[in-house]
């Protein structure tokens, strides 16, 4: 049932960009910039002048963007454009890579994440992350995987842990499938289940923001549909930033879309605008499949 809906959705989205291309560019160049990012909405994460380096190579050039609370922001762009590197800077994971260096500001609720006294461990508890490849801890059971985050952070009370595990698995729409197999190894689940397990594990720490780095790229369409449905549910409570290669996916799940190209932010706008009346030629070319 869900797949059918998804199929229809994606067919619909396939058509949208074409109609956008039909419009001549002067019309949407006249539209005022950033008018769509309404001030009334609550901004949670602000990036100002972000420059990112691997050793001496600069991979992200002066990016500034504001991410709205409890919305889904998609980041699209061709391979190697710095999408993943960008979101890894939002929870200070970039600096884990040898040679990784970040300049500029990232503010979560007005608080500077790269401040000299800020502990990256604390940042990561507030901004969770789901990776491209499902990566449950192989030595831990389903239960322990979900409990890992807050248990490793020092929660001891068994009842609290049990409640949190159940709550997180329910939030990740995995509870029904694994409630009888909680003590099996996390790696015994299917790929899609493993990814939802990783989402549950990230949610268990109760982050304010959830970063997802191409969370569906290793999954089949059915598992992908489930994750997308989950994303739509999760945005009630969590702010989501998702990197995706799949433009239909960005169109389906996101409220805002940022288009990255060669380490620069080309365009940022509400998703419907990006996919129907993009302001920049490059964006239009990319979403209509002329390059990328």
Nearer to another protein, 23 or 96 (CB): 96
Shortest reach from residue 138's CB to another protein, in Å: 6
Interacting residues of 21 by C-beta distance below 8 A, sequence separation 6+? 284, 288
Q: Which residues bind another protein (CB under 8 A)?
A: 91, 93, 96, 98, 121-126, 128-129, 131, 133, 135-139, 148-149, 152-153, 198, 201-202, 205
**Are 83 and 63 within 8 A, CB to CB?**
no
Shortest reach from residue 83's CB to another protein, in Å: 16
Furthest CA-CA distance within the chain: 63
**Are 68 and 252 within 8 A, CB to CB?**
no
Shortest reach from residue 187's CB to another protein, in Å: 8
Nearer to another protein, 21 or 133 (CB): 133
Shortest reach from residue 172's CB to another protein, in Å: 14
Shortest reach from residue 89's CB to another protein, in Å: 13
Nearer to another protein, 60 or 211 (CB): 211
Shortest reach from residue 84's CB to another protein, in Å: 12
Q: How far is CA 271 from the centre of its chain?
A: 14
Residue-by-residue DSSP string for 110-171: TEETT-TT--HHHHHHHEEEE-SS----TTSBHHHHHHHHHHHTT---HHHHHHHHHHHHHH
Nearer to another protein, 19 or 122 (CB): 122
Shortest reach from residue 124's CB to another protein, in Å: 4
Nearer to another protein, 28 or 114 (CB): 114
Residue 290: count of CB within 10 angstroms of its CB: 11
**Are 10 and 252 within 8 A, CB to CB?**
yes
Q: Which residue, chain included where needed, has tokens 């709550």?
A: 167
Nearer to another protein, 30 or 156 (CB): 156
Interacting residues of 256 by C-beta distance below 8 A, sequence separation 6+? 37, 67, 68, 71, 72, 73, 74, 268, 269, 270, 271
Nearer to another protein, 191 or 289 (CB): 191
Considering only CA atoms, which of 115, 178, 119, 117 is closest in space to residue 146? Answer: 178
């Amino acid at each position: 049932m869900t797949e059918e809906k998804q199929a229809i959705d994606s067919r619909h989205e396939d058509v949208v960009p074409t109609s956008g291309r039909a419009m001549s560019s002067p019309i949407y160049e006249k539209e005022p910039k950033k008018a769509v990012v309404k001030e009334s909405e609550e901004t949670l994460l602000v990036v100002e002048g972000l420059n990112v380096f691997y050793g001496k190579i600069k991979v992200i050039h002066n990016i500034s963007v504001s991410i709205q609370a409890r919305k889904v922001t998609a980041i699209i762009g061709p391979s190697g454009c710095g999408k993943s590197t960008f979101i890894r800077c939002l929870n200070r994971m970039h600096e884990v890579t040898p040679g990784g260096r970040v300049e500029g500001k990232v503010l979560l609720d007005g608080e500077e994440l790269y401040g000299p006294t800020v502990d990256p461990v604390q940042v990561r508890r507030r901004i969770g992350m789901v990776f491209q490849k499902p990566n449950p801890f192989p030595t831990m059971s389903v239960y322990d995987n979900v409990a890992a985050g807050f248990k490793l952070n020092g929660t001891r009370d068994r009842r609290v842990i049990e409640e949190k595990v159940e709550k997180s698995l329910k939030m990740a729409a995995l509870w029904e499938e694994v409630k009888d197999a909680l003590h099996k190894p996390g790696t015994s689940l299917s790929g899609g289940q493993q990814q939802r397990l990783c989402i549950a594990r990230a949610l268990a720490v109760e982050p304010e923001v959830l970063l997802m780095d191409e969370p569906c790229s290793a999954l089949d369409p059915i598992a992908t549909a489930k994750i997308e449905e989950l994303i739509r549910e999760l945005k009630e409570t969590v702010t989501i930033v998702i990197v995706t290669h799949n433009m239909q996916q960005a169109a389906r799940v996101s409220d805002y879309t940022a288009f990255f190209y060669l380490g620069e932010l080309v365009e940022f706008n509400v998703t419907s605008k990006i996919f129907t009346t993009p302001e920049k030629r490059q964006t239009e070319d990319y979403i209509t499949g002329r390059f990328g």
